[in-house]
Amino acid sequence: MNIDQEQLIIRNAISDDARQIAEIIVEDWKIAYKGIIDNDYLDSLSVEERYQRELQRYQLYRVAEINGEILGLAWNEIADNEDSDCEIIALYIKSGKRKSGIGRAIFHDSVEHFKAAGKSKMIIWCLKENYEARKFYEKMGGVEYKSGTHKWGNRDYDMISYIYNL
């Protein structure tokens, strides 16, 4: 199911987007990470709590929307470290809209944003067991890079990164 790319607008998020951003993130976590992250942690996720957090940092996101409905988002960060000079911290697509071209569009928007800022090496981290995301990142040209862990709740989870030469 491809969306009409001509109707898709990718733009900087505004404060009015915070609720939709929170809804997408919480829903995506509960669906994509089921069976990967402990159910107790996933069940504890709250749209209202996430909304309060996103009100404070909505400006970090680029959102993909059609007719005012946010269908996807990316959190881009420019930071020089030993591995890269920029990172897509998070990339989420609204449930039911995956495999529609939104992920590719917002991914390419992020890459263009980084290139315009003079960046040359991008990294993305994801859960090692999130095979759908890994397949997408590889399809977008990412090369498996480093592994690590991240703690959510009371547990550490295996992570994998993908590196991109821009």
Confirm whether 2 is domain-assigned: no
Confirm whether 128 is domain-assigned: yes
Confirm whether 47 is domain-assigned: yes
In this predicted model, what pLDDT tens digit does every residue of 2-33 receive, in sequence order?
Answer: 666 679 999 999 999 999 999 999 999 999 99
| Structural domain for 98, as ranges | 9-165
Give pTM, 2 decimals: 0.91
Which residues, including other chains, have CB under 8 Å from residue 125's CB and lie 6 or more apart?
A: 87, 148, 150, 159, 160, 161
- For the chain, how many structural domains are there in total? 1
In this predicted model, what pLDDT tens digit does every residue of 110-152 receive, in sequence order?
Answer: 999 999 999 999 999 999 999 999 999 999 999 999 999 999 9
What CATH number corresponds to the domain at position 139?
3.40.630.30
Confirm whether 112 is domain-assigned: yes
In this predicted model, what pLDDT tens digit does every residue of 69-95 receive, in sequence order?
Answer: 999 999 999 987 788 999 999 999 998
Distance CA 102, CA 94 (A): 9
Cα angle 37, 98, 52 (rounded to 5 degrees) comes to 60
Confirm whether 3 is domain-assigned: no
